[in-house]
Amino acid sequence: MRILTLLILATAASTVAFGQSNMNTQGGNFKGQVRYENNAPASYIKVDIWSDGGTYRTTVNTDDQGRFSVQAPFGVIQYEVEIPGYRPAQGREDLSMSHLANEMITLKAQPGTTPPAAVAPADPRIAAIPLEAKREYDAGQAAVTKNDFTGAIPHLQKAVQLYPKYAEAYQLLGVSQLQTQHGPEAEESLNKAIAIEDKMPQAQYMLGMLLAMTNRANLAEKPFTRFAELDPTNPDAHFELAKTEFALNKFAEAEMHANKAIELKEKNPGVEVVLAYSLLRQQKAPEAKQAFQQYLKLDPNSPMKDDVEKTIAMIDEHQKAGK
């Protein structure tokens, strides 16, 4: 037991640093909803999605509510929707920081085209958005699409001034403020977005990331948990929760969320390291060794390779000493 305790102490410093870092370096979640100008959903249409440089390209179909979701690499992602009778809808989203995008795409009819029957918004808050506030929001969103986050901020600030319950504008404002290195302002905007509308997975995720990056895991736990509730099939939700629970010394919970992220096909092999350290803190050395070995198999050129191999060797030494 003494050797295993020393092993845990020897790895503690690197574990804490690892748990606090953002290890989602493999890919993010790009989702959205396509609607016509009259608010009717654009059901069962194709959305072309690709990365800058063209190394990644895919096509997804919207569902009956016009929604779509796809895993995409970090960086700038472009999209286009082009169907007969409507102007092509194009845009860009940067996943390098947020790791999650939720795009609202509006199809505008060409002369002579009549959109499907409109569906009245179920949410009276959205139905009450003033036209001028919507115009400011659209202008801000257009600026964000061009990666002009500084230019987006005044439009979004005007949108929430015109309509203080504009949760979507607060969310996009928070993203823009984060991208322009205004962390405290971004935190305030994201908190306002969530206070108005709790069912906003991107706002929950971004707030959790901001809190985690500023070493406030105790506060990040709540938005990450809500993110997982709102988007239960997203592996990133459980990966972030695993790191957060580990930082809070909740090792059994960290193990559970790491395993769930792996089950959901988390692309970042770092989840295996979070799992391994969580197991190690629970005195489950053989299982931890397997997780470490799986990590090296998935990422043989990892910069953490030497440290992981040393930890595996220490586990082996402990097991031999215990025989």
Q: Is the dihedral of CA 158, 132, 160, 140 positive or negative?
A: negative
List the Cα angle 118/123/126 in 5-degree steps: 80
Is 280 in contact with 295 (CB distance < 8 Å)?
no
What pLDDT, on the 0 to 100 scale, is given for residue 1? 42
Please give the pLDDT value at position 317: 86
Two tokens, residue 284: 């489950």
CA distances from 66 to 70, 100, 223, 231 (A): 14, 18, 26, 17
Question: Considering only CA atoms, which of 278, 274, 279, 286 is closest in space to residue 312?
Answer: 286
**Token pair recorded at residue 5:** 């305790």
Residue 191 is encoded by which pair of tokens? 């908190």
φ, ψ dihedrals at 199, nearest 5°:
-90, 60
DSSP string, 165-212: T-HHHHHHHHHHHHHTT-HHHHHHHHHHHHHH-S--HHHHHHHHHHHH
Closest CA to 190 of 180, 181, 201: 201
Question: Is the pTM higher than 0.95?
Answer: no
For 246, other C-beta atoms within 10 Å of its C-beta total 26
Q: Tokens 């400011």 sit at which residue?
A: 136
* Whole-number pLDDT of residue 132: 94
Distance CA 131, CA 91 (A): 22
Residue type, 316: D
Strands (E), the chain: 28-36, 46-51, 57-61, 67-72, 76-81, 89-94, 100-107
Residue 31 has what pLDDT?
84
Q: Which fold has domain 29-120?
A: Immunoglobulin-like (2.60.40)
Q: Where are the domains of the chain?
A: 29-120
Task: Look at residue 26 in the predicted model and tell me its pLDDT.
Answer: 53
Please, are residues 75 and 94 in contact by the beta-carbon 8 Å criterion? Answer: yes
Q: Which pair of structure tokens corresponds to residue 128?
A: 């009450």
Cα separation, 215 vs 172, whole angstroms = 23
Give the Cα-Cα-Cα angle 129, 149, 231 (nearest 5 degrees).
65
What's the pLDDT at 114? Answer: 81
Number of other CB atoms surrounding residue 209 within 10 Å? 24
Q: Note down pLDDT in tens along the chain; length 323 residues.
A: 443 443 444 444 344 334 444 444 456 778 888 988 888 888 888 899 888 877 888 888 888 778 888 888 878 888 999 988 889 998 888 777 666 777 889 898 888 888 777 655 568 888 889 999 999 998 998 888 788 999 999 999 999 999 999 999 999 999 999 989 999 999 999 999 999 999 888 899 999 999 999 999 999 999 999 999 988 888 888 999 999 999 999 999 999 999 999 998 888 899 999 999 999 999 999 999 999 999 999 999 988 889 889 999 988 888 777 65
- Closest by Cα among 97, 95, 55, 102 to 76: 95
